Amino acid sequence: MGSMRLDRFLGEQGIATRSELKKIIKKGRVKVDGRICTDPGCHVDTETSRVTLDDVPVEYSRYVYLMMNKPGGVLTATTDRYGRTVLDLLTDKYRRMEVFPVGRLDKDTEGLLIITNNGSLAHNLLSPKKRVPKLYEAHLDRYPGELAIDAFKKGVVINSEFTALPAELRFISMEPVIAHVEIYEGKYHQVKRMFKAVGAEVTYLKRLRMGQLELDEKLKPGEYRELTEEEKGLIGTE
């Protein structure tokens, strides 16, 4: 990334707001390469400068990647006047890093949601052309029959304007009826509409995987954590 102002360097790590940071720096709490720096505009190198705050090293990373187990009842949006969004579940540190959710899950859908401030990642994961599979667990009100598997394989006709891309469907339980479905695109209410087209209602939906990145089942709904280096590799962040 190269050279940037000290207040921006610290700001991009979500440490405090820009105006708070200016005060912190002026108080002499920040050192660059071992020397106190009281000028918020002094330039540091993101790769070589050693920056500390209260003598604690501050590592620089341009982007942050979070995995959330999205709970039901929360909107996948950055702001909403009426409802709680997934960003409201994050600490100030991450909100200050100007993160956003990659793609949308419906308000009542749970499961894997990636939240990042890397804009190009969203395109790589969501574009149907990239054919990144998304695996969902769907609970259904009834068994739509074996023929649904074939219909999903061929591409379910939703309406005169939209036929879904071929998808894999398998039933993992009959009582209750639970299916796993893998799709390669993410149109509005896609999974629910696909099942509706074969005669079943989705009563509960959870995303389990995007590409090779699996939801960490240790995360309870509403919990989140940063991706490990290995997980970042799985979704091609670099």
Binding site for ligand URA (CB under 6 A): 105-106, 109, 189-192, 205
Q: Which of 106, 108, 141, 216 is catalytic?
A: 106
- Our CB check for ligand URA shows the closer of 110 and 231 to be 110
Q: Smallest distance, Å, CB 67 to ligand URA?
A: 16
Whether the CB-CB separation of 160 and 148 falls below 8 Å is answered with no
Q: Smallest distance, Å, CB 72 to ligand URA?
A: 10
CA proximity to 61, closest of 23, 99, 22, 87 = 99
Which residues are registered as beta bridge partners of 210? 134, 213
45 catalytic, yes or no? Answer: no
What angle (nearest 5°) sits at the alpha carbon of residue 58, between those of residues 53 and 60? 145
CA distances in angstroms from 228 to 4, 106, 123, 143, 214, listed in the order given:
26, 26, 21, 38, 12
Q: Taking the CA atoms of the chain, what radius of gyration do you get in angstroms? A: 22
The first and second tokens of residue 225, run together, are 């954590």
Q: Smallest distance, Å, CB 38 to ligand URA?
A: 49
- Our CB check for ligand URA shows the closer of 49 and 190 to be 190
Question: CA–CA separation, 46 vs 2, rounded Å?
Answer: 5
- Our CB check for ligand URA shows the closer of 182 and 226 to be 182
Active site residues: 106
